[in-house]
Amino acid sequence: MRNDQDAVNRGAVPMVEVWRGGILESTHMGHAVICDDRGEVIEAWGNPRAVIFPRSSCKMIQALPLVESGAADDAGLTDRQLALACASHNGAALHTHMVEDWLRNLDMGEADLRCGSHEPYDREERDRLIRSDEAPCQLHNNCSGKHAGFLTMNRHLRGHSEYVEADHPVQQAVRAAFEEVTGEASPGFGIDGCSAPNFATSVAGLAHAMGLFSGASEYGGWRGRAMHRLTHAMAAHPELVAGEGRSCTALMRAMQHRVAVKTGAEAVFVAILPDQRRGIALKIVDGGTRASEAAITALLVRVGALAAGHPVVARYLGAVQKNWRGFETGVVAAAPGFPEA
């Protein structure tokens, strides 16, 4: 697949601005799509056909085969574990202990993971490691819950140990589910930070999938039930999907566990809104997280899932910037016409 920067930028529109001293300092351009529960586009900004990597925003899609195959039920997974399978977590003790226990129940351990190690985002756990002179392990990887899900699926399939390889049955099942729910044949894949394949799609394709998730029911077919279960698990356990201080957790709590949202690296963000029967996907082309957080907040307000006056809105949209002395220096705001137009 070749998707140069011009192709990503083409058709992008201003979504988020940064102001300092009353002067426009920066503008973040992007694409966004809202789909209904049939996956039909009902609103769009920028170029809906822009091809992107969804990165971690699509973890609920990557977890679909885990539930659909019966592997989750065979392993007795709880909704808390399914939320963790969809997570980009902080690596706090809450998260690492859950993954460790999950692997133990599979008669596996940290060495069976293929996600790699990085320093935990959680400050308390990071400081504990420093004080005890311990190195972070794969349990601290923000994707370790997703990989525990892959291992559960792999045990069910009796596949070989390198479950992150693109031609492995686990990843082939993920690709099949991904293409079915996006309604698009993926033009290719890249390798994610956790070593798993990340399949490309358009912004509209990603929103199409989120729309289908939004209309899923526990009384539907096998895929609908799986979608419903994963959406419910994420919304019910936002502290597992991300963690304290993170936008996914804060936004889901603010919406009283009725909406599932998920960020991805390089400024991708999605939302599943069962009450509104809407799915949202967006991409900020410069990869700026502050902009994707502001943009998803604006869209959640637009569709009525989040009250404009809720304190969490001011945290991400219209957020006041301060310097190291606490002085107000600027503001992050929605660009004119987004998302009202």
Let me know if residue 341 belongs to a domain.
Answer: no
Strand partners, 264: 268
Domain hosting 179: range is 5-334
Q: What is the pLDDT along the chain (341 residues), one digit of tens a residue?
A: 454 556 678 899 999 999 999 999 999 999 999 999 999 999 999 999 999 999 999 999 999 999 999 999 999 999 999 999 999 999 999 999 999 999 999 999 999 999 999 999 999 999 999 999 999 999 999 999 999 999 999 999 999 999 999 999 999 999 999 999 999 999 999 999 999 999 999 999 999 999 999 999 999 899 999 999 999 999 999 999 999 999 999 999 999 999 999 999 999 999 999 999 999 999 999 999 999 999 999 999 999 999 999 999 999 998 888 999 999 999 999 999 999 85
Let me know if residue 28 belongs to a domain.
Answer: yes
Let me know if residue 293 belongs to a domain.
Answer: yes
Which tens digit of pLDDT belongs to each residue from 265-309? 999 999 999 999 999 999 999 999 999 999 999 999 999 999 999
Which CATH number do you get for residue 78? 3.40.710
Let me know if residue 97 belongs to a domain.
Answer: yes
Let me know if residue 53 belongs to a domain.
Answer: yes
Determine what percent of the chain falls in helix, strand and coil, rounding each to the nearest 5: 40, 20, 40
Domain count, the chain: 1
Can you tell me whether residue 292 is helix, strand or coil?
A: helix
CA atoms within 13 A on the CB side of 340: 4
Let me know if residue 45 belongs to a domain.
Answer: yes
Is the pTM higher than 0.85? The answer reads: yes
Which tens digit of pLDDT belongs to each residue from 144-198? 999 999 999 999 999 999 999 999 999 999 999 999 999 999 999 999 999 999 9
